[in-house]
Structures are given as structure tokens and as C-alpha cells.
Chains A and B, each alone.
Chain A
Amino acid sequence: MGIAQNWRLRSQRYGLVGEVCDDCGEKIFPPRDVCPYCTQPAQTPFQFSGRGEVFSHTTIYNPPTGYEEFVPYTVALVKLEEGPLVTAQLTDVDPEEVNIGQPVEMVTRKIREDGPEGLIMYGYKFRPRLQEV
């Protein structure tokens, strides 16, 4: 992915910014300009809380190019509190200790590195939700 392709996604990657449909009220992530539920225009930004729970998960040992340094890593579908599913890596957790239904929260981490002199991309991952004290 080139610089501009990543730059365009900065508010999603760093802020989990999606949309809310003015017509039917559905919260949408990733943003997509047309509401998938009612097909009306949906362009009002909405920032998600970053809280959710694990909907499904798997651990990757054979990574695509660019992700070798993270192996083994766990990817998940996370069900956000506000409704949508999001695909992301889990972090700060032993793959053996991940369960469906586990509460997680968004954190910002390094997503990938394009070699020693290339881009370093940051974005959202999810970790087990910290206990509130």
C-alpha cells in the first residue's frame, strides 16, 4: 500500500471513525457513504468507543508478506458495542487465552513495516479490556 492509500484511512486507523446513517440511525464501520441497511446517503462521521467483544478468532502461522515479524498472531472479528463487526488483530494476549465473547478494547499499534526503509503503518488492534478500578 502506498503513502496516500494509508493517509486517506488515518481517521479510521487511528480513531475508529465510521458513520451514522441520518435516515435509519445505523452505526457504520468501515465508512462507506451509502448506508447498507437503507441505501440512503450516510456521511455523518461517528467515532466508535473502541469497546467490543470477540465474535470469532484464529491464529496465523503462515502470514502474507510483511507480517512475518508478528507470527504467531491472532486475528479476530470484534463485535463493537455500537453494532458493527470489525476485522483486526488482537494484541497483548496469549492466543490460547482468547475466547468468543471476551471483552476487548481498541489500542493503537504497529500494523506492518515495509522493510527497513519503507513505510511503518500504525492502526487499531484490540486487547483484552483492562479491569476498571
Chain B
Amino acid sequence: MANDLLVPILGPGRGEGTLIGWYHEDGDEVRAGDLVCCFEAGNVAVDIEAPGDGFLWHEAAAGMPARWGEAVGVILAPGEVPTPRDDAAPVALYPAQAHDPEAASEPPPAAAPHYAFEAYEVHPVEDEPEAAAPVSPTELPLLRRTHTAEEPAALWGSAPGDQTEFDSPLLWRSASEAWPWGRDDDGQPRRRRLLPLGPTAGSHDDDAPTAASSYDDWEDDPRAAVSDEWEPATPTRDEGDEDDAAGNTTAGWLANAEAPVTPTEDRGHDAPPPPMSWEFTAAPAASTWSEPAPAPEPVFEEGDWAVVAEPAEWDTPAPEAWPPAPATAFAWDAPAADSLAASAPAWVADPGPAAPDEPGEWTGELETIDDEPEPAVFEMRGDVVEPWDDPAGNVDPAPLAAALPVRPAALWLRTELPAAGLAEVEHRLGTEWGAPGPSAAVLVAAAIARALAESGTPGADILLDTPGRPETHRAILRAAGERPMRELVDDATSRCPHDALFDCAFTDFGPAGIDEGIPPLGEGQGFALAAGALRDTFALVAGRATLAPVLTLTLSYDPALVSPGDAAWFLARVRALCEAPHALLAA
């Protein structure tokens, strides 16, 4: 029973890949589990194993596109012949036509089976053998010939007894590089009958092989008649070719050959073709690829890696030889090197903060800043903490740990940002708008609301929890898209029930702040954002050390509910909004 070799799912959202190549040649006997071909899509190379024992029949060549569910070959049982396919996929099998507008204007081989035999006349052989007997691999090609009646088209020529080769430009392109079906005893590319090509006039020049000896058994080529570019050359064949009733000739095709063609015996059209014993008699069993040498010891036990991990092997090259001295003789890409250096992180090239204008005033403090390896005071930091790292011990991890297959863990990110603008706006809010309470916290909450709206979660509720003045400042902000700042402030100063459900807890502990701790997560809560107090801190602003109000934002989140990437984006966005509170107000 024939086993089709089907294209697997090759990539996310990409149903199409590429057939990279075949491990075995056409007609080779393979066993179940042997690797037969390889597809690639989206940086993933997928090797396909033979689903059963039999003889491999290629239906597509290396380099062809492969779509999910299509068959690129079949494993035939002894004596079996390939049957035509009803589920034709002419686009996949005719890539040159699919991308060539001229070829596309040609009548497509519509409803063609995989072999596309309909492009040619059907001349079944009259005397069909009654039954297929088991044959050896060397007899397989002959068997195919004798079963032309079962194949719905003239695979073997335009007239009974004709021997016609069908090859696509893609196949010839393969022939010029690595002939996928191996070579015969004389070192010539082994020919095969596969994928008859429709009329693609003028598209052969680049693909014609240069080894004329590969056409030793060449006979009528149906494509030659439609080619206008190939000039007939000195006939090197018997005259029978030019007398072909169909007008086909190989003279033009042969003219492109560089080496002289060895004449073959004139058999005439009525004479039966000779058995093609040359095809598989010396088929090498080796793969067409140079696979890595097999492991010297095929038996593996757990812990074998230790053999590989011999210290002597790990230790090459010698540590003292690494890193090697950079080559100076060749200026490989000076502009690129310059641009690379220019784009290097500041902490690489920057020796440290610039000297202050008044060194006597800040000497003691600035030494501390200079000792910092890099100006990380404003940079976002993050770390992995153990599950439910809750210094206060307020959270019981047991319920979630029991509910989820993997024990959830609270991760946290922390960033410190210069909050001079925030302090200024806070001051203005208090003096100009008369907004009561910790307006900086309201601003941060507004930034959270804006970031949530931008992230596509407009329905999230934000609990603004300021325990210092609970009746006034415990509020809920609903992030419902772009809202005026004044409206947010009004919401923040309105009273609300304490037990409201919330998606995001914004906690401001007032003067104490959460500068070092991690906000605990409640059960089922995706994330919590804690803001520290506005503290005057020595910081580097524009490369100079100064005293500036700094705000610390700490985001803890449950990665089972919120992806780390989204959490990082959210905190970065909140920080950016907090750094530009004027823009937040203007929006």
C-alpha cells in the first residue's frame, strides 16, 4: 500500500514552506523510519520519516514550495505504481509559471493531477500486463513503463513507443548544482521522468544544463517546438527526430549543449524502447547530503553527555588564547565600526559623571555617585524573585498554587524616574486647581489609566489607595480611554466603596512610600503597582549631579495572568507618562 509523504504544518501562520531536499534518491528502497526529505519554514527544518517500507517516488524537487497537506512523494510497495492525484496543486508544482506573468497568461494546466499529464495527449499502451508482480528495484522503471495504461497520460511520449523526457527548469537548476537523483556509473546526472512541464517558451536558457552527455538517451522534447530562442544547430541525432509527426525536435535543445552528444542507435518509433536498466542498477545507498558522521557508539545511556563533556574537550581553545587579538591588517568596515562605537552604551564609553560646578559643596555625596559603575539610578531594573515574594507575609500562596498547574510566582519590576515635573505639577494642581490630597499620586494614577487604555484594557479599574486620608483619597479610576485630566482628578477625589473589585491596585503609602518593598498580589490579581514617595535624591540629570525628586515605581505581577512582556511595556509606559506630566495634562 502506498504511503504518501505529506507536507506537515510548517510554521505559525505560514502554510507554505520549501522542500529543501531528499535524503534518498528516486526509486531507492527505504524502510519505515528512514529520513526521506526535509522541509523548511520559519527557521525550522523538519525532517520527514518514511511511514512504511517500500520504494521512494519523488513527486517534487528540491527548492519547490510545499504547502501543508500536499504530497511531495510516495512510498510504493513492491510492484505498486503511483496513481494520479485528484487533489492537484499546480501552483505548488509550477513555481516558475506562478511567478511569471507571461506564463501565467498561458492556459494553466487546470484540474491537472500531480503529474499534469493532461498537457499532453494520452496514448495508452495497448498491451497492458494483467497483473503487477513483485519486482526488484532495478526493474521498477521498466514496470512503470509497462503500466502506462494505468497512468492517465502519455508519460512516455507523444506517440506510442516514444520516449519523452519531461523536466522543469527548476529541476535543471538543481542539476547544475547538486543533482538530486544522483549520477550513473559514468558520472552523468541520472535522469528521471517527473513533472512534465507545460509550454514555457523562452524560459530555459538559464536552466539548461551544460553537460550534453546527460541527454544521451534524449528523444523528442515537446517543449522544443514552442521555443523561439533556440536556433537549430548541427544535427547530432538521427534524422528521425526531425521527422517527428508532432513537429517536436530536440535539435534546438541539443544545440545548447557544450559537449558533443553521443549518437544513439536509431530505433525508430515503432521499436520498443530499451529497458532502462541504467537507472537504478547502481543506485548508491548513500544520502545525497553530506550528513554528519554518525556517532561512533550508537548505544546511548543517560549520562553519556559526560563523555562529551570531558574537560580536555571543553578546554579548547585555551583560555589564555581567548579572546584573540583583533586583526588590524584588514580594515573590514571602518564606517560600521565607527557607528558601532558611537552606538555603544553610555556606560561603556562614559567614564562617569561630569565634575560639578561647585565641587566643594557636594564633595562627600558626589563620591558616592562616582563610585556607581553606571548611571543606573534612572534605569529600569528587574529581577526574578521566588514565588510570592511577600516580605510582609500578607499573601498566602496556597490557593493559587493549588489552582494552577504551575505554581505562580510574583515577579516584579522597579524603575526610578526623575519626578521634578511631577512635583511641579503637583504643586500647580494644589495651588491652581485646588485639588486636595496627594495630587502626585493622582497624576500617577492618571498615567496608569492612560497606559491601560493604550494597552487595550479600557475596562480596568484602578484602586487608588492612600491610607493617610482614606475617606478622601481612596478612589477608583476607570481607565476608559482618553479622558480629560480634570475628569480623572475629579474621579480620584470622589469617594467610593472600599471593597470594589479592581484589576490594578495603585498603592501610595504617602511619606513612607514603597521604595524597597514589593507590593503583594491578591488572589487572582494580575498586577499591583506601588509608588514610592517623592524623595529628594542625588541623581544624574543631563550628566550632572543634582538634587532632584525621584519617584520609585514597583510593579509586581503574576506571570500566569499577565505576560512579562506586557508588564514591562506597561511599566515603561507609565514611567514615560509620569516623566511628562505636562503632556498628560494637555491630553
A binds B: no
Question: Contact residues of A with B, CB < 8 Å?
Answer: none
